[in-house]
Amino acid sequence: MKLDSKIPSGPLANKWSKHKQESMLVNPANKRKFRVIVVGTGLAGSSAAASLSELGYNVDAFCFQDSPRRAHSIAAQGGINAAKNYQNDGDSVHRLFYDTIKGGDFRAREANVHRLAEVSTSIIDQCTAQGVPFARDYGGLLSNRSFGGAQVSRTFYARGQTGQQLLIGAYQALSRQIYSGNVNMHARHEMLELVVVDGHARGIVTRNLVDGRIEAFAADAVVLATGGYGNVFYLSTNAKGCNVTANIRAFRKGAAFANPCYTQIHPTCIPVSGDYQSKLTLMSESLRNDGRVWVPKKKEDLSKNPASIAEADRDYYLERKYPSYGNLCPRDIASRAAKQVCDEGRGIGPAGRGVYLDFADAISRFGKKVIAERYGNLFDMYATITGEDPYEVPMRIYPAVHYSMGGLWVDYNLMSNLPGLHVIGEANFSDHGANRLGASALMQGLADGYFVLPYTIGHYLATAKQPKVSTEHPEFKKALADAEARLKKLLSLKGKRTPDSFHRELGLLMWNKCGMARNARGLKELLQEIPALRERFWRELVIRGDAASMNVDLEKAGRVADFMEFSELLVRDALDRDESCGGHFREEHQTEEGEAKRNDAEFLHVSAWEYQGEGQAPLRHKEPLNYEEIKLQTRSYK
């Protein structure tokens, strides 16, 4: 396998404009001769599908929810970064670029990240023109807040519903194109196979989740915008349907999977409350603008009413350990710090797995009204779930799985090593290195969909020169048969256990041995335990109902089966990366203060895994990371 990142030559700041200049174009009259499949309608997919259709391409768009507007992007709360420097606080494209590279612990590509920072400003213009109701100051101009890992205020937001508003903007643009007839929208369709013809990605196979029909779709290029794989841990802040199916199916057809071990654990989530727990709820990072994180210094204070604990007996451990960033240090660092104090036996709440996020100071400084205006919906959400009032008692929070930095490998054009297969948004690996900064996923999704892919896919279509194919092609027939055989196999199992019960079991294994902290021994155990669990899954599962109608357990079973396979890849990568970096913390590699210790001499590369066939260990390739602009250094937020 050849991994060519296709990073343009020349000075960093000119690469993107030069690349656009040099890319081939498809002339307007010819665009309608091309058809593009876009799987996923989150920020990345909706923005791409709408923009491609506006340009004149024919688009088939897919999502598994009942409407494109319900993609998981809808749940993003806190905000979206952009280097507008509206606050005149010293922000710039270069600073956003630098913060993102540093936040990612120097494991992302410079050229991609610089481009992301460059186009960030256009995103805010575009969304505003669509009618996204960003928060404004009294003068009527856009307002900003701060997010972790930055010392400037560059985060744009729409109350605590930024993802919702951005997605509705993209969904409306997509709706307009659906109305125009250029986009065929296929909701409640799940992609089950990628179809590759003569080495090029040419189509997909889907299951209609309403009537069970298996169908094939052919096109000139395929775009995966299928989101992240956090649900491999079962409990996460992701929506229930988030899955790795599309990505793992593409992996099996030859697309490289990059850095699967880079998963983000978010520091501020509502702790687990019982065995029945089905998901974890995020409390936005924006809360760390005003909330202070602490635990009692003394164990005997753990069960006391927090308000009665004297200031001197509280450990504001983030402010203590990281004075210059304080409560706004990056997520990986804040999460590990929370784990540390809980491991020391100073965690609060059930099972000692929690820390306080306290707004008492902010409320006394600004008043309850201002705090309610800033975070009202988050406070309400917290109260609804826990039955406690965060205006009166501090929130209890604990880290939870949140985001996947890893994903399918893509080059500078956002194309995978499989020609024609483009991957955008959280589904690719490209911009966040080993740790993503808050408010940068929304930025990346929309950058990819509105401003990068529409250019780069044009170049591919103009140069690929592939003959038209139809779903009559033998590769389509084969992919259809494969998808059907898999469903049949799942339905033939005569065990006793539900897909959910296996998913929970897998998640717990992963969280315990491949979660916030990992070590070689645990990872090696997982490489025994996962195949054993997978084997039980394929023996003990039972699915009621049939394939020819809506069957929720069949849907889940397919996803869990793919997680069973993917988890092993993730663990392999975690074992292979024998260093700590960003969200990937190997206990063997830490400084005396317990900070992640990178090993640039051996691991300054992207690990890209190639499928080798059923039952075979995948092959690891390396894409070296060349830092031309930035000097590598130890990340410090002290």
State yes or no: is 331 an active-site residue. Answer: yes
> Between the CA atoms of 501, 504, 506 and 512, what dihedral angle is there, to the nearest 10 degrees?
-150
Residue 427 interacts with ligand FAD (CB under 6 A): yes or no:
yes
Size, binding site for other proteins by CB under 8 A? 86
Give the integer Cα–Cα distance in Å for 27 and 461: 11
Question: Is residue 193 at the binding interface for ligand FAD, with CB under 6 A as the rule?
Answer: no
**Residue type at 155 in one-letter notation:** T
Give the separation between CA 411 and CA 313, rounded to whole angstroms. Answer: 52
**Footprint of ligand FAD on 271-330 (CB under 6 A):** 282
Taking the C-alpha atoms of residue 456 and residue 26, their distance in angstroms, rounded to an integer, is 11
Q: Six-digit token pair at 144? A: 């900003």
366: helix, strand or coil: helix
Candidates 15, 19, 72, 154: give the one binding other proteins (CB under 8 A). Answer: 72
Among ligand FAD, other proteins, none, what binds residue 381 when CB lies within 5 to 8 Å by partner kind?
Answer: other proteins
Shorter beta-carbon distance to other proteins: residue 282 or 418: 282
Options 202, 331, 396, 436, the catalytic residue: 331
Among 380, 505, 525, 610, contact with other proteins (rule: CB under 8 A): 380
Residues 250-279 that bind other proteins (CB under 8 A): 271, 273-274, 276-279
Q: Does 222 bind other proteins (CB under 8 A)?
A: no
| Residues in contact with 457: Cβ distance below 8 Å, sequence separation at least 6, in sequence order | 36, 52, 221, 223, 413, 422
Does 520 contact other proteins by CB under 8 A? no
Angle at 477 between CA 474 and CA 481, to 5 degrees: 140
Which entry of other proteins, ligand FAD, none binds 312, CB below 5 to 8 A by partner kind? none
Shorter beta-carbon distance to other proteins: residue 180 or 633? 180
Does 71 interact with ligand FAD (rule: CB under 6 A)?
yes
Asked if 345 touches other proteins (CB under 8 A), the answer is no
Token representation of residue 595? 């900070």
Q: How many residues bind ligand FAD (CB under 6 A)?
A: 45
Could you give the maximum distance between any two Cα atoms of the chain, in Å?
75
Residues 6+ apart with CB under 8 A from 169: 127, 130, 131, 132
Q: Which does 44 bind (CB under 5 to 8 A by kind): other proteins, ligand FAD, none?
A: ligand FAD
Bridge partner residues of 59 (DSSP): 36, 183
496 binds other proteins (CB under 8 A): yes
Give the nearer residue to ligand FAD in terms of CB position, either 63 or 483.
63
| Of residues 94-133, those binding other proteins (CB under 8 A) | 122, 124-131, 133
Alpha carbon distance 280, 293 (integer Å):
19
Q: Mask 82-111, x = binds ligand FAD (CB under 6 A)? A: ------------------------------
184 binds, among other proteins, ligand FAD, none (CB under 5 to 8 A by kind): none
Chain residues 9-48 in contact with other proteins, contact rule CB under 8 A: 47
Single residue of 305, 308, 364, 384 touching other proteins by CB under 8 A:
384
Measured CA to CA, the distance from residue 451 to residue 118 in angstroms comes to 10
Among 3, 37, 45, 458, binds ligand FAD (CB under 6 A): 45
Which of ligand FAD, other proteins, none binds 112 (CB below 5-8 Å, type-dependent)? none
Residue 42 binds which of other proteins, ligand FAD, none (CB < 5-8 A, kind-dependent): ligand FAD
Q: What's the closest the beta carbon of residue 5 comes to ligand FAD, in angstroms?
A: 21
Q: Is 367 exposed, middle or buried (0-12, 13-18, 19+ CB in 10 A)?
A: exposed
Nearest distance, CB of residue 547 and other proteins, angstroms: 13
**Is the Cα torsion angle 420, 253, 71, 357 positive or negative in sign?**
negative
By CB under 6 A, residue 119 contacts ligand FAD: no
Is 43 a residue that touches ligand FAD (CB under 6 A)? yes
Closest CA to 250 of 562, 567, 606: 562
Q: What's the rounded Cα separation, in Å, for the pair 73 and 15?
A: 29
The 475-494 site mask, x for binding ligand FAD (CB under 6 A), equals --------------------
Residues 435 and 333: their CA atoms lie apart, in Å, by 10
562 near ligand FAD, judged by CB under 6 A: no
Binding to other proteins in span 452-481, by CB under 8 A: 454
**CA dihedral for 337, 338, 342, 343, sign (positive or negative):** negative
List the one residue from 111, 441, 452, 453 that touches ligand FAD (CB under 6 A).
Answer: 441
For 628, counting Cβ atoms within 10 Å of its Cβ (0-12 exposed, 13-18 middle, 19+ buried), the class is exposed
Residues 76, 272, 555: CA angle, nearest 5 degrees? 65
Which of 97-105, 236-244, 321-329, 500-508 is the region at the interface with ligand FAD (rule: CB under 6 A)?
Answer: 236-244
C-alpha distances in Å from residue 205, one per residue of 198, 246, 390: 17, 10, 47
Q: Which residues are catalytic?
A: 331
Q: Which residue ranges make up the site for ligand FAD (CB under 6 A)?
A: 39-45, 62-65, 71-73, 75-80, 162-163, 190-191, 225-228, 237-238, 242-243, 245-246, 282, 402-403, 425-427, 439-442, 445
